[in-house]
Every structure is written in C-alpha cells, then in structure tokens.
A and B are shown apart, each in its own frame.
Chain A
Amino acid sequence: DAMVIQNPRYQVTQFGKPVTLSCSQTLNHNVMYWYQQKSSQAPKLLFHYYDKDFNNEADTPDNFQSRRPNTSFCFLDIRSPGLGDAAMYLCATSNGQGGPYEQYFGPGTRLTVT
C-alpha cells in the first residue's frame, strides 16, 4: 500500500546531541512537509519541499535543518536538541501538481530529550 513511513517511531536523545528523523513515501508526491506538534496543539509547519525547492517557515529555529536527497526521502536534522524540542514530529506529503490536494500524514516520531 502506498504510504508515508517515519522512522524511528520513538526517539530518545540527550540535550545537545544531534538527532536525525527520517521520512519516506511511496506515493510519488512532489511536496513533502515537516511539522512539529506539541501536546494539545495544532501541527506547526517547520518547512516544506516543493520538488527540490526548500521553503523554510520564518519562525523555524536555525537548529532545525532538512534534506531531501530524492523524491521519496526527507530528513529532519535537529543539530542541538533542547528540552523544548521534545514533541511529535510529523511528516506529510501531497501532490502539488495543479493542487490543492489532500495531505497524507505519516505516523510521526515522538522525540524525547533528556
């Protein structure tokens, strides 16, 4: 089945220790998104790729970086995680051709910072 996959589902990292979260998709969608979601809040868009074009939200901290080496994969790098970065990180995809189209969310990675 076509889907959005996130690994790992749970990640524990230490304060200040770099961590990478991964997302892959079999939908062949050209748009990929990374969201941060904290408890009881709406998903907050960090950045998105339209094909290879990277779009950073103005309030996304510099501590957060992303890579999209190909259509199927996208990575979220947190260079120096702080306690405030503990959250659920959601990857999503959509077909951006002639949109708007539905966004498909992955299951998320829950990040704990100790």
Chain B
Amino acid sequence: GENVEQHPSTLSVQEGDSAVIKCTYSDSASNYFPWYKQELGKRPQLIIDIRSNVGEKKDQRIAVTLNKTAKHFSLHITETQPEDSAVYFCAASRGNTPLVFGKGTRLSVIA
C-alpha cells in the first residue's frame, strides 16, 4: 500500500521568511496530493491540493509542487505570518482510495 513520508517534523521560521515542507510517496499510481492545516483543537482544513496532471499550483502565499518521477511533492509558504503557525499534513491517494497521511510538520512562525 501507499506510504507517505513527511519532513521535517518541526520547523521554525522568522516571520516574513519562507517555509518548505516536503513529502515523498511510494505508490506511483497515486494521483491526488492535498495539504491540510490543523490548528490546535480544530479540524484539518484543506489549504491546497494538486493532481498528478499538474506540476505546480499556487494560491496567494501558498504553492505546491509535484515531481511525479521522483515521487515527491512540497508545500511552499512565502512571507510567513504568525497565523501560519499550525501542524501541516500532506496526504496522497489514487482513484477513490482513502487518503494516506504523512506524520505532520509543526510549523512555528516567530514574530
């Protein structure tokens, strides 16, 4: 089955700097790669997703890149703000199979 590895597990950045979180997946048939943000005590919220027919997607300060050959995808947050502090999860799935989550990255943005 699918296995998703996520790095780093914790990340601290200064406000205004960029943050990058990386994930690798094992199933070459996976075709959907969402990123979720989870604040303390709240539900995971989808912040951006990408499908395997696209190499990059951007939404304001957030971007995701996908390298199908290397089987990895990354989340990029630019101009970080304190409210970006949260746990971020990557995930992967193919077709209608359930998402397989990475273990999460705790991002701290230091003002």
Contacts and interface: CB of A to CB of B under 8 A. Distances in A.
B3 to A, nearest CB: 12
Contact of B43 (A33, A96, A99, A107): A107
Contact of A103 (B31, B42, B99, B103): B99
A43 B46 contact: no
A107 B96 contact: no
A48 B104 contact: no
Contact of B44 (A31, A90, A100): A90
Contact of A40 (B44, B98, B99, B104): B104
B95 A100 contact: yes
B104 A41 contact: yes
A75 interface: no
7 contacts: A33-B98, A41-B104, A42-B89, A50-B96, A100-B31, A103-B99, A106-B43
Interface of B: 31-32, 34, 42-46, 49, 51, 87, 89, 93-99, 101-104, 106
Interface of A: 31, 33, 40-43, 45, 48, 50, 90, 96, 99-100, 102-108
